[in-house]
């Protein structure tokens, strides 16, 4: 005997929660299923627990920078206590999330969902049917396809390590490698990054990334770009990574090797073929409404949809779009203009809108303000040595086209520029805004 609902949502993270809560609030019957503890990647295995660890390492780093400036004593990281601090946030999430669903009248199931028909899934031997099914299963660490790949741990296991190994090798050069290297190095580990590309953080402005690299050197992180990992071997009491770079083949010994080379959805367990849901170039074939082009009963949101950047605000936005289309018919489409992005290094680096190359590709004429700002009060007050900005404004209209920030307050100030980019505000309008002083945002007029 199957159970029938108006909507089934597969997943329990940001996108899934947004869809389920909105559709249920409109009076539709909704079921949510997840094979993992409820809460999703961001709350349990990604952004939030990572930020909890950064809370400790940033405090330690700030104390170090303030040595000889009125702060004395050595602040050290106790990894076990820091992990318990993190767990104080993450451990209650699944129960709270499931309780929240139940209080909203949403049915909850546990187990892997796989399609058994165009409008039906099977969960732990039970069949669930619905008019619409929403895929919001998030992403997994992508396969590297190298011998010894099983010896690597992914970002999820890194965030659950009971102790911090002495020597860590990170394979990859994106957000995960950038942020985890700063966490581990400031907690006392020897960190090496092996990146196959010619630089770290390719989604961020190259000039600002270059300035940020000075911090990597300062905290002792060793970076090897243009380096391809060939294999990982288990030694008697550690691991050996063999990689090829400009100087030929070499080995790196480590107590831990971390997969930090990107994530993507894992569609195999869903048995999409049973529902006639097609893939195109490894991605779900979706229309502008985030609906499957081959099965109109199926929608997708967040990292599973792969339509916008793999960020939590995008998942929330996608969830709103899908919910609106489920409730009122297809009419809502995602708007990814002005999506801010932050790598929570110390200091953080952030961007929103266009960079120079993108603006030129679009044929836009613009003026650019760019400078390093170690002498600014907002940087000196934090005893920081690395900061800077780059802002693009369109010639004539003075519309803010893009902003790129590096420094102690970049992760917050970027939100002001996000408002400007998304809503077409001009440099003059930002200059005319009175920001609280002294704050990071009060620097904005000097960037324009």
pLDDT > 90 in the chain, percent: 98
**Second CATH level (architecture) for the domain 3-139+265-328:** 3-Layer(bba) Sandwich (3.50)
pLDDT of residue 279: 97
Nearest Cα to Cα of residue 350 among 430, 393, 412 = 412
pLDDT of residue 113: 98
Nearest Cα to Cα of residue 296 among 321, 278, 315 = 278
Structure-token pair, residue 6: 């108006």
Find out whether 31 and 106 touch, Cβ atoms under 8 Å. yes
β-strand pairing of 256-259 with 167-171: parallel
User: If you classify domain 149-261 with CATH, what class do you get?
Assistant: alpha beta
Annotated binding site: which residue ranges?
51, 137-139, 172-179, 262, 303
Structure-token pair, residue 165: 């190994």
Nearest Cα to Cα of residue 322 among 284, 364, 362, 376 = 284
Structure-token pair, residue 349: 């680096």
Q: pLDDT digits over 163-176, tens only?
A: 999 999 999 999 99
Annotated binding site for FAD: which residue ranges?
51, 137-139, 303
For every one of its 448 residues, what pLDDT tens digit does the chain have, with 9 covering 90 and above?
Answer: 689 999 999 999 999 999 999 999 999 999 999 999 999 999 999 999 999 999 999 999 999 999 999 999 888 999 999 999 999 999 999 999 999 999 999 999 999 999 999 999 999 999 999 999 999 999 999 999 999 999 999 999 999 999 999 999 999 999 999 999 999 999 999 999 999 999 999 999 999 999 999 999 999 999 999 999 999 999 999 999 999 998 899 999 999 999 999 899 999 999 999 999 999 999 999 999 999 999 999 999 999 999 999 999 999 999 999 999 999 999 999 999 999 999 999 999 999 999 999 999 999 999 999 999 999 999 999 999 999 999 999 999 999 999 999 999 999 999 999 999 999 999 999 999 999 999 999 999 999 9
Rounded CA-CA distance 222/244 in Å is 16
**3-state SS string over the chain?**
CCEEEEEEEECCCHHHHHHHHHHHHCCCCEEEEECCCCCHHHHHHCHHHHHHHHHHHHHHHHHHHCECCCECCCCCCCHHHHHHHHHHHHCCHHHHHHHHHHHCCCEEEECCEEEEECCEEEECCEEEEEEEEEECCCCEECCCCCCCHHHCECHHHHCCCCCCCCEEEEECCCHHHHHHHHHHHHCCCEEEEECCCCCCCCCCCHHHHHHHHHHHHHCCCEEECCCEEEEEEECCCCEEEEEEECCEEEEEEECEEEECCCEECCCHHHCHHHHCCCEECCEECECCCCEECCCCCEEECHHHCCCCCCCHHHHHHHHHHHHHHHHHCCCCCCCCCCCCEEECCCCCEEEEECCHHHHHHCCCCEEEEEEECCCCHHHHCCCCCCCEEEEEEECCCCEEEEEEEECCCHHHHHHHHHHHHHHCCEHHHHHCCCCCCCCCHHHHHHHC
User: pTM value?
Assistant: 0.95
Query: What pairs with residue 8 in β-bridges?
Result: 31, 133
pLDDT of residue 73: 86
pLDDT of residue 247: 84
pLDDT of residue 246: 87
Rounded CA-CA distance 202/209 in Å is 9
CATH of 347-447, one of 3.30.390.30, 3.40.50.300, 1.20.1300.10, 3.60.15.10: 3.30.390.30
Domains 3-139+265-328 and 149-261 are alike in CATH topology: yes
Annotated binding site for NAD(+): which residue ranges?
172-179, 262
* Domain spans of the chain, in order of start: 3-139+265-328, 149-261, 347-447
């Amino acid at each position: 005997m199957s159970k029938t609902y108006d909507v089934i949502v597969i997943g329990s993270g940001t996108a899934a929660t947004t869809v389920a809560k909105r559709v249920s609030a409109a009076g539709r019957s909704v079921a949510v299923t997840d094979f993992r503890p409820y809460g999703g990647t961001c709350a349990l295995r990604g952004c939030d627990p990572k930020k909890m660890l950064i809370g400790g390492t940033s405090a330690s780093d700030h104390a170090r920078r303030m040595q000889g400036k009125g702060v004395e004593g050595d602040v050290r990281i106790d990894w076990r206590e820091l992990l318990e601090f993190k767990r104080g946030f993450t451990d209650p999430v699944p129960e709270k999330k499931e309780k929240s669903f139940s209080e909203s009248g949403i049915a909850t199931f546990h187990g892997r969902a796989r399609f058994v028909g165009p409008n039906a899934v099977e969960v732990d031997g039970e069949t669930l049917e619905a008019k619409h099914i929403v895929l919001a299963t998030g992403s997994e660490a992508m396969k590297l396809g190298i011998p010894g790949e099983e010896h690597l741990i992914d970002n999820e296991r890194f965030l659950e390590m009971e102790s911090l190994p002495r020597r860590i090798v990170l394979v990859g050069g994106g957000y995960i490698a950038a942020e985890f290297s700063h966490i581990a190095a400031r907690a006392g580990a020897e960190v090496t990054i092996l990146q196959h590309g010619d630089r770290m953080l390719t989604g961020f402005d190259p000039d600002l990334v270059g300035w940020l690299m000075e911090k990597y050197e300062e905290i002792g992180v060793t970076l090897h770009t243009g380096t391809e990992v060939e294999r990982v071997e288990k030694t008697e009491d550690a691991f050996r990574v063999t990689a090829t770079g400009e100087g030929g083949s070499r080995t790196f010994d480590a107590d831990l090797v971390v997969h930090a080379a990107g994530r993507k959805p894992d569609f195999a367990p869903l048995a999409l073929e049973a529902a006639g849901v097609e893939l195109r170039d490894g991605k779900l074939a979706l229309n502008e409404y985030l609906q499957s082009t081959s099965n109109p009963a199926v929608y997708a949101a967040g990292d599973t949809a792969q339509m916008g950047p793999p960020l939590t605000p995008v998942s929330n936005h996608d969830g709103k779009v899908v919910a609106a289309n489920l409730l009122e018919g297809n009419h809502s489409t995602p708007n990814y203009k002005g999506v801010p992005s932050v790598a929570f290094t110390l200091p953080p680096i952030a961007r929103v809108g266009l960079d120079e190359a993108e603006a030129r590709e679009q044929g836009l004429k613009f003026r650019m303000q760019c400078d390093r700002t170690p002498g600014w009060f907002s940087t000196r007050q934090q005893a920081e040595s690395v900061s800077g900005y780059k802002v693009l404004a369109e010639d004539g209209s003075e519309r803010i086209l893009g902003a790129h920030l590096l420094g102690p307050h970049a992760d917050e100030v970027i939100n002001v520029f996000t408002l400007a980019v998304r809503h077409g505000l001009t440099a003059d309008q930002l200059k005319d805004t009175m920001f609280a002083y002294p704050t990071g945002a009060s620097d904005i007029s000097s960037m324009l």
